[in-house]
Structure 1
Amino acid sequence: MEIIVFFSLLLLVCSVHTNQTEADYEVLEQRISNQQPCLQDIHAVLRELTASLAEQKVKMAYLEKENQEIDDQLKEVERQKTEIDQLKLQSKVKQVAFSASQFDQGNGDTGPFNTQVTLVFKRVVTNIGNAYNPHTGIFTAPVRGVYHFEWHLYGYGDTRAGGVLFRNGEHIFIAYEHPTSAYVSASNGASLLLEAGDQVSVRLCADARIHDNQNHHTTFSGHLIFTM
């Protein structure tokens, strides 16, 4: 009798345990079933994001290429503008020439002095480009290039006539004539490579004297040969 009761109880326990396990499985299956649509949505969103990211990368690569092309075009435009500006400048500065005599009117002597003195040629007959200053007697190069200069000095009597061509304070050439009992003249010329801003002038030699009158014997001239 006891054995029968024991087996009856055992069967009852097993039945309860089996029912509980099946219930747990059903709950788990339900949860998984409920989560599957959510997981599918997440995967779909991830796929969309991946596709969108790939598309954005393609667009960025295209924009970078387009920006580079625009940058290259801007550089080319800037280069061409610089060349045009340089050509305009060269065309403008090629027109450089001047010629002047010492006195604007009347006649008179200059010197002698105990030191060199910059000669001012006041009567300007040509000053294309305005590189020569008739108030200081100084020519200022507007552009780098080769320039040619000539100076002619007229004197008389027992005092020598002479003048030195200077570039930025550097003695270049001299025109000189010893004194005689009659009129004398001294002339010279030089071609110089000048940088933009270089200054050229003629200085009267120390203890020298020159003369000028209405005939304009004493002159200073120069012009640009070519740019460099």
Structure 2
Amino acid sequence: MAEKITLLEAKLQNTENEVVELRSLTGGKPQVAFSATLRDNSTGNIGPFTINTPLKYKKIFANTGNSYNPATGIFTATVRGTYFFRFSMFNNVSPTPNSVVSLMKNGERLTSVWDTAGSDANDMGSNAVVIALDVGDNVYVELQANRMVYDNHMNYNTFSGFLLFTV
């Protein structure tokens, strides 16, 4: 038992040293930023789903602070502060545009982008917000039920966010 305690104490000391080193690199200020796109290598529509569904942005450009989870598509605040989020949507065109996506905070819609009718080719839109988040708040882009978006190697659909300042 004493040996285990000694090992745990050594691990704790190493962790504390790493925290001190990381704080010196960042000036003691938390760094949170991410940017991702929907597809790694594939092409085509995503959706439709029978219910509103968080989009999973799988190709990660940056994920400083590891607050964005590509397995769920959800950003979880690890720092209380004011954040900036931006998302873009590229619609599908077959047979007619049918795309609606919304930026969500804890299950509540903040803003949306849509293209649901028309005889033109693909359209694209984006939207952004600055919002206050508490630790544990979730932000994600939700594809509305029975809607689709299209993506390919051009990375049209993106989701990005970063901490502006702590509060």
Do these two structures clear the TM 0.5 threshold for a shared fold by scoring above it? Answer: yes
Report 1:12-161 matches (<5 A): 88=23, 91-93=28-30, 95-157=31-93, 158-161=96-99
* Partner Cα separation in structure 1 for residue 98 and residue 64 of structure 2: 33
* Partner Cα separation in structure 1 for residue 61 and residue 91 of structure 2: 22
Opposite residue 219 of structure 1, the aligned amino acid is T
Query: Does the 8 Å contact 1:142/1:196 carry over to 2?
Result: yes
Counterpart for residue 165 of structure 1: 103
Shift of 1:98: 0.4
Show structure 1 runs of 5+ residues with no match. 1-84
**Number of residue pairs aligned between Structure 1 and Structure 2:** 141
Counterpart pick for 1:204 among 137, 143, 154: 143
* Partner Cα separation in structure 1 for residue 48 and residue 91 of structure 2: 11
Counterpart for residue 76 of structure 1: none
Query: Does the 8 Å contact 1:106/1:214 carry over to 2?
Result: yes
Judged with a 3 Å threshold, the aligned counterparts in structure 2 of structure 1 residues 171 and 111 are, in CA distance, closer, same or farther, namely same
Counterpart for residue 116 of structure 2: 178
Counterpart check, 1:190 vs 2:126: no
Counterpart check, 1:219 vs 2:152: no
Counterpart for residue 16 of structure 2: none
- SS of the aligned residue for 1:183 comes to coil
* Partner Cα separation in structure 1 for residue 115 and residue 147 of structure 2: 10
Show structure 2 runs of 5+ residues with no match. 1-19
* Partner Cα separation in structure 1 for residue 141 and residue 125 of structure 2: 13
* Partner Cα separation in structure 2 for residue 179 and residue 120 of structure 1: 25
Counterpart for residue 59 of structure 1: none
More strand by share: 2
Can you list the C-alpha shifts for 1:52-97, whole angstroms capped at 9, x where unaligned?
xxxxxxxxxxxxxxxxxxxxxxxxxxxxxxxxx9xx598342x111
CA RMSD of aligned residues (A): 1.7
Shift of 1:159: 3.0
Counterpart for residue 24 of structure 1: none
Larger radius of gyration: 1
Can you list the C-alpha shifts for 1:125-167, whole angstroms capped at 9, x where unaligned?
1111111011110001111100010110111320321211111
Shift of 1:106: 1.9
Greater RCO structure (CA 8 Å; 6+ sep): 2
* Partner Cα separation in structure 2 for residue 114 and residue 130 of structure 1: 30
Query: Does the 8 Å contact 2:43/2:153 carry over to 1?
Result: yes
Opposite residue 116 of structure 2, the aligned amino acid is H
Query: Does the 8 Å contact 2:97/2:115 carry over to 1?
Result: no
Query: Does the 8 Å contact 2:45/2:92 carry over to 1?
Result: no
Normalising by structure 2, what TM-score? 0.79
Shift of 1:178: 2.6
